[in-house]
Amino acid sequence: MIPQPGEVSLAHHGVLFLDEFPEFARATLEMIRQPLEDRHVTIPRVHSTLKFPAAIMLVAAMNPCPCGYYTDPKRPCKCTPPQVERYRARVSGPLIDRIDIHVEVPPVPWKELRAETGGLSSEAMREMVTRTRNVQRERFGGDGDSVTTNATMSPRQVRRFCKLDDPGEALLKQAMTEMGLSARAHDKILRTARTIADIEGEANIQPQHIAEAVQYRRLDRKL
């Protein structure tokens, strides 16, 4: 049987959205780990190895607990801490480690839900993203490889383009120590902080950029 590209490869240069993330089979989720890092899917065969491209942006959504109300300010959660832990453990630590940003999305208040204005318009967001992408393309243009975004920086490039001042170093060290973060999470925080600085038009990463990037590692924190 000739191997065919699956959903991960079909989403090449696009977005792969997985809703109810913990409800997927554990084996299925674990198969995503390596393509997220290598940006291709490898299928070994007896006489050859096939590779399908898989440069994807993975977006996943999950409830905070089985009942869905953990941390909800208005509805009490009916789950016990062990139940919450078991639910979250359906997505392995190594897979979570490979996801750049984890954020909690609270319920939208009625006033904001019904408001006709507020927040960034699509046009303003597009302009911001385009401007930030252009900054990154210029940064990596003469670096001798195909990297065009902060998200795909190599460890060598992270060390080169994500230098910190002393307060930033102290803040990152504190986060790494208190949260028990991995080396992979360390680099993802720096890549995210570099992007936040680019959005704000800052040439150097400031401590507040590190602080914001650390806040985006929500699932690395203990209950």
How do residues 97-110 score in pLDDT, each as one tens digit? 999 999 998 888 88
Q: How far is CA 85 from CA 70, 92, 148, in A?
A: 12, 11, 38
On whether residue 119 sits in a domain, the answer given is no
Quick one: 95 and 12 in the same domain?
yes
**Residue type at position 4:** Q
Q: What is the pLDDT along the chain (223 residues), one digit of tens a residue?
A: 778 889 999 999 999 999 999 999 999 999 999 999 999 998 888 788 889 999 999 999 999 999 999 988 889 999 999 999 999 999 999 999 999 999 998 888 888 888 877 778 899 999 999 999 999 999 998 665 678 899 999 999 999 999 999 999 999 999 999 999 999 999 999 999 999 999 999 999 999 999 999 999 988 876 6
Are residues 39 and 54 in contact, defined by beta-carbon separation less than 8 angstroms? Answer: yes
The predicted structure's pLDDT at residue 190: 97
On whether residue 126 sits in a domain, the answer given is no
CATH number at residue 182: 1.10.8.60
Last residue of a domain, one of 67, 99, 131: 99
Number of folded domains that form the chain: 2
d(CA 59, CA 57): 6
How many of the other CB atoms lie within 10 Å of CB of 157? 19
On whether residue 164 sits in a domain, the answer given is yes
Last residue of a domain, one of 59, 82, 99: 99
Quick one: 85 and 166 in the same domain?
no
Using DSSP's 3-state secondary structure scheme, residue 49 falls into strand
On whether residue 106 sits in a domain, the answer given is no
> What number of helices (H) and strands (E) belong to the chain?
11, 4
CA angle 96, 60, 8 (to 5 degrees): 90
Quick one: 158 and 76 in the same domain?
no
What values do phi and psi take at 201, rounded to 5? 75, 25
Show the tokens assigned to 208.
């507040």
Name the burial class of residue 102, with classes exposed (0-12), middle (13-18) and buried (19+) by CB atoms within 10 angstroms of its CB.
middle
What values do phi and psi take at 217, rounded to 5? -105, 55
On whether residue 142 sits in a domain, the answer given is no
**Beta bridge mates, 162:** none
d(CA 195, CA 75): 35
Last residue of a domain, one of 99, 130, 159: 99
**Residue type at position 206:** Q
What percent of the chain clears pLDDT 70, i.e. is strictly above it? 97
On whether residue 141 sits in a domain, the answer given is no
> H or E stretch including 176?
helix 166-179
On whether residue 205 sits in a domain, the answer given is yes
Residues spanned by the domain of 185:
148-220
Selection from 56, 99, 107, 106 nearest residue 219 by Cα: 99
The predicted structure's pLDDT at residue 125: 94
